[in-house]
Amino acid sequence: MYSGRLDEKGRLKLPADFHNHFRSLQEQKLYLTSLDRKTAAVYPLYKWREVESFLDNYHEDPQAALNVAFVAAELGSEAEPDAQGRILFSQELRKALGLEDQPLKLWARNGHLEVLSEAMFKEKQEQSKQSPEQDLAKLRAAGLKC
């Protein structure tokens, strides 16, 4: 978990680990969006194509897939880190998620980076405090080795 903040132009400075990782990719473009209108997500473009493919081919609940795809398209934009490792968030995404003028948390998961506002971070933090022992016990019973 890393801390961050958007600058006055709406750019997020990536931590060096992420910047170096994204620079090492063959295709350095990123896709910035939200799937749930609560958290932002920064995907390497190849990873975003996997998400799009899943949504296009999900037939169990086509309306759910269409809704998520619509949100991602409405709030999404491509970006490429500049030389200092900053990426520009679109005004639509910044405004919809209330990302401006506050500390942000950056959480690497499943091949992408989630960007949480202070409120979303606190909400997830409170959720994680509800039943940590039971949650871990369930995962260990399902095969988690730790």
Q: Which domains does the chain have, with CATH numbers?
A: 2-118 (3.40.1550.20)
| pLDDT score at 138 | 95
Residues 102-108, mean pLDDT to the nearest whole number: 95
How does residue 17 score in pLDDT terms, banded at 50, 70 and 90?
A: confident
This prediction has a pTM of 0.89
Over residues 50-64, the pLDDT tens digits come to: 999 999 999 999 999
Residues 4-8, mean pLDDT to the nearest whole number: 96
Which DSSP state fits 9? Answer: T
